[in-house]
Structure 1
Amino acid sequence: MEIINLQTKAQLDIYMNPQRQSLLRILEKSKMPRTPKDLSLELGVSASSIQYHLKKLESLGLVYMDHTANIRGITAKYYAPTRVTVRIGGDKEDTLINERVALSRNLVADVLDNTISTIFRPNQEKCCGDVKTGVAHLTSNQAEELQTIIHEYLEKVNTPSKDTEPWEYALMYYRIKEKQ
């Protein structure tokens, strides 16, 4: 899977926009490409605003125009998410650290909010999903192996099909440095 590294303030600003994050989430959950008009109805904003945001996301390589179709004499453009991994540069030490931290907080908070509203709803049929926390004790080789397993598995399941359902996740891990 291709990795897109967000390295500049302009790239981070494009990606951090809440409207664009909503667009990406909708497109990633969809099994079929969507039109700006369809997306505008779902988000409650104008189709021209959606087109503007799609162009910005397209400039980063996060969405692409899948195809066009003639609908009652109008050419409709259908957009789909590019199946990529976005790396926001958490390993970088630069002047954009505050933007990177804010973006990380927002991305994880969105997934957490969706998780809570899905798996902890009262009077709801049993739902699949969970929150797990803990500490794993790994050698350097095991840590690399775990990262490879996660990356390969997620790459294998990142494309929707008629037999699949979307599952959202926020996976975080880091090496704990013991206090000296």
Structure 2
Amino acid sequence: MYKELKTLEEIRIYSDPYRIQIMNQFQKMGRPATVKEIANSLHEVPAKVHYHVKKLESIGLVSLVDTKLVNGITAKYYEPFQGQIMIKKSEFDETVQQVFLSETQNLLNNLFEESKKRFLLANQGPTPTGTLMNHDIFLTKDEAKELTDWINQFCIKHQNNDTSEPRESYEVFFTMAKGQDPEHSHKNKKEPSSP
């Protein structure tokens, strides 16, 4: 499942570092949660979190999935989008394209910074738990899509800790971009060496 961010407003809404924290907190819950639950876990005021949840809801990254009457108050349960979030470059003029690129870079910087903080935190103790990998691989477009779909489905499958087996929480941050190395872009074959 994919969600495409197509407009500057959508990218601005998602790229806010505080909203990224809210999305991460919803993911950690592993179940639909109320704004109050998210606010409590972030040690924040519910009104502040509610404002940002409404912004995320407006672009489909958070959805209202249930309501319950609790002590005379309607509790609203939200769930985060379960899938890949992609940025689609639309037909903008050159000026708007520059702003679009700037907002996209802002979003990526915020995502990388949040992931970096969590990675460094995981490696501060006596037993480091973070794993970092960097590989150049050669794939067809279909294989690249298959890989991202598989990772996404694997993460969704293991989002909830609802088994009797003891499990630990791991944070996964995955990026994949088409390489720009001109030496390898045409062929993946070695030329025969001359005698």
> What TM-score range do you get, normalising by the shorter chain?
0.7 to 0.9
Deviations 1:65-88 (A, max 9, x none): 121122111111111112121112
TM-score by length of 2: 0.76
1:111-122 → structure 2 map (5 Å cutoff): 111-118=115-122, 120-122=123-125
Counterpart of 2:147 (choices 146, 149, 163) is 149
Instruction: Report deviation, 1:178.
Output: 2.1
Q: Secondary structure of the equivalent of 1:158?
A: helix
CA contact (8 A) 2:34 2:75 kept: yes
Which of 160, 166, 172 matches 1:168? Answer: 172
TM-align CA RMSD: 2.4
Residue type matched to 1:75 in 2?
T
Alignment: residue pair count: 172
Does the residue aligned with 1:157 lie in a helix, a strand or coil?
helix
Aligned-partner residue type, residue 158 of structure 1: I
Pair 1:109 & 2:107 matched:
no
Q: TM-score, normalised by structure 1?
A: 0.82
Unaligned runs of 5+ in 1: none
Partners in 2 of 1:156 and 1:132 — Cα distance? 18
SS in 2 for 1:101: helix
Is 1:131 the counterpart of 2:146? The answer is: no
Superimposed CA distance per residue, residues 84-120 of structure 1 (whole angstroms, 9 cap, x where no aligned partner)? 21112479882311111121122122112211211x2
Letter in 1 for 2:135: G
- Between Structure 1 and Structure 2, whose CA radius of gyration is higher? 2
Tell me the distance in 1 between the aligned counterparts of 2:170 and 2:126: 23
Identical aligned residues as a percent: 23
Shift of 1:172: 2.8
